């Protein structure tokens, strides 16, 4: 069911399994907004100008498997905590494009205690900015697909993703426009030893650096690699960006 509204409707059939409230002006998800829809499996809330989620806003969604909150004004550290604690059967979660990169430059604490309860979660799309902190709770997840969107990080260290399990087979770490070669450590991808698909497309580093990052993946299972549009200019401008000219040698491609 697809609807246009300014609030969560309370007069729908209680046995609906699909609800699309995208492109609305919802603002706040109040406590028990979805409590009557216990059989709901898919909930689409993208681009609905949601800025606040109350502690029990998603209470009762015990059957929910797919949820998209992309394109809103939420904080994964606070609002995300309330959402995740009440949606433990989630398989696909899209929490991307919820950041303003111009102001979010400090530490971002991802609520690992809430994430670790999502034992069925397989596909995750979230933002990455500032100095991300993924706690030990992430080691309990069995993710297959990760897409880091709205990427405005300024550093990637060897321990940034250390708590992710090696179950991840597809990783998209693309369009990171505020990072430089010197701020990425060589073993940052070490936790993802079973990757079959990797995209670093459009990230603000040189192609040479992108190839170096493959070091921990050498002789592993990587099948598809996207290093397109690798640039090193401090300001991204589609009209003027020219990728670094390099000569591909056996040494530069030794980890392929």
Q: pLDDT per residue over 205-237, tens digit each?
A: 888 898 999 999 998 899 999 999 886 655 444
Lowest average pLDDT, out of 71-80, 146-155, 172-181, 245-254, goes to 245-254
**% pLDDT > 90, the chain:** 64
CA-closest candidate to residue 178, choices 198, 153, 197: 153
Report the distance separating Cα 6 and Cα 8, nearest Å: 7
Lowest average pLDDT, out of 53-62, 92-101, 148-157, 170-179, goes to 92-101
Residue 133 reports pLDDT greater than 60: yes
Buried b (16+ CB within 10 A) or exposed e, 15-28: eeeebbbbebebee
pLDDT digits (tens, 9 = 90+) for 230-240: 866 554 444 54
Lowest average pLDDT, out of 51-55, 118-122, 148-152, 246-250, goes to 246-250
Q: CA of 235: how far to CAs of 149, 180, 232, in Å?
A: 19, 11, 9
Predicted model pTM: 0.87
- Over residues 136-152, the mean pLDDT reads 93
Q: What are phi and psi of 149, to 5 degrees?
A: -115, 170
Residue 221 near residue 195 (C-beta atoms within 8 A): yes
Question: Secondary structure of 7-32 in the HEC alphabet?
Answer: CCCCCCCCCCCEEECCCCCCCEECCC
Q: What are the extents of the domains in the chain? A: 18-226
Mean pLDDT of the chain: 87
- Count the residues in the chain: 256
Residue 118 near residue 90 (C-beta atoms within 8 A): yes
Q: What class, spelled out in words, does domain 18-226 have in CATH?
A: alpha beta
Residue 158 reports pLDDT greater than 90: yes
- Over residues 5-33, the mean pLDDT reads 93
Within 10 angstroms of residue 95's Cβ, the number of other Cβ atoms is 23
Q: Which residues, other chains included, contact 226 with Cβ-Cβ below 8 Å and sequence gap of 6+?
A: 174, 198, 199, 200, 201
Bridge partners (DSSP) of residue 20 are: 2, 44
- Over residues 122-129, the mean pLDDT reads 94
- Over residues 16-25, the mean pLDDT reads 96
β-pairing verdict for 123-134 and 92-95:
parallel
């Amino acid at each position: 069911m697809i609807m246009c509204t300014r609030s969560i409707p309370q007069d729908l059939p209680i046995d609906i399994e699909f609800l699309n409230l995208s492109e609305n002006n919802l603002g706040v998800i109040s406590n028990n907004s979805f409590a009557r829809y216990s059989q709901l499996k898919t909930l689409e809330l993208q681009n609905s100008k949601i800025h606040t989620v109350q502690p029990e806003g998603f209470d009762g969604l015990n059957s929910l498997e797919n949820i998209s909150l992309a394109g809103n004004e939420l904080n994964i550290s606070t609002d995300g905590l309330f959402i995740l604690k009440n949606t433990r059967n989630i398989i696909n979660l899209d929490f991307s494009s919820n950041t303003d990169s111009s102001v979010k430059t400090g530490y971002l604490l991802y609520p690992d205690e809430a994430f670790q309860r999502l034992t069925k979660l397989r596909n995750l799309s979230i933002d990455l900015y500032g100095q991300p902190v993924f706690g030990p709770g992430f080691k309990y997840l069995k993710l297959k697909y990760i897409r880091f969107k709205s990427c405005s990080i300024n550093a990637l260290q060897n321990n940034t993703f250390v708590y992710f399990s090696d179950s991840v087979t597809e990783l998209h770490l693309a369009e990171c426009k505020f990072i430089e070669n010197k701020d990425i450590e060589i073993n940052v991808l070490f936790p993802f030893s079973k990757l079959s698909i990797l995209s670093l497309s459009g990230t603000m580093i040189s192609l040479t650096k992108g190839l170096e990052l493959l070091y921990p993946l050498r002789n592993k299972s990587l099948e598809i690699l996207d290093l397109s549009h690798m640039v090193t200019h401090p300001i991204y401008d589609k009209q003027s960006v020219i990728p670094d000219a390099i000569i591909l040698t056996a040494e530069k491609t030794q980890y392929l």
